[in-house]
Amino acid sequence: MSKTDVSGLSQLGNTVEAPTAPETAILEKVPNGNAGTDYVVRFTAPEFTSLCPMTGQPDFAHIVLDYIPGDWLVESKSLKLFLFAFRNHGAFHEDCSVYIAKRLVELLEPKWLRIGAYWYPRGGIPIDVFWQTDEPPKGVWLPEQGVATYRGRG
């Protein structure tokens, strides 16, 4: 096992200001020390927040990101700051969800990526958003995301 090259990182280990918008948030990557081996990386953000673009009211989601890395891994502090940047950003659920996935695909060029965004209801209905780059490669252990469909009291 070799030491991970962190020389290109600007946020990890440093005090940084939280980004004010997802478009300006800096996502960083590190070399994948296991490039050539297919495995799944999962990030779960159980308290994701954005704003309704019409009312300015907060919207909440449980987001699960799964990806099979190629040459790069996302640096987790930069991912946390990126997701935090949505707290004061007005966008519909679908836009937030797919934008997150596409930014990661652009940065990492993973072998495969999917997002499951399980939004809590406002106005009576939950809106869940699912997107993936393609079918996952065969032979990779890919656990279910494990988030139950919203049932309310029923």
Residue ranges of the binding site:
74-76, 93-94
CB 126 within 8 A of CB 135: no
Catalytic residue, chosen from 5, 38, 59, 134, is 59
The sign one gets for the Cα dihedral 45, 29, 6, 34 is positive
Angle CA(42)–CA(26)–CA(15) in degrees, nearest 5? 95
Annotated binding site for substrate: 74-76, 93-94
How buried is residue 82: exposed, middle or buried, by Cβ count under 10 Å (0-12/13-18/19+)? buried
59 a catalytic residue: yes
| Cα four-point dihedral sign 63, 66, 72, 77 | positive
Which one from 38, 52, 95, 128 is the annotated catalytic residue? Answer: 52
Active site residue 5: no
Active site amino acids = 52, 59
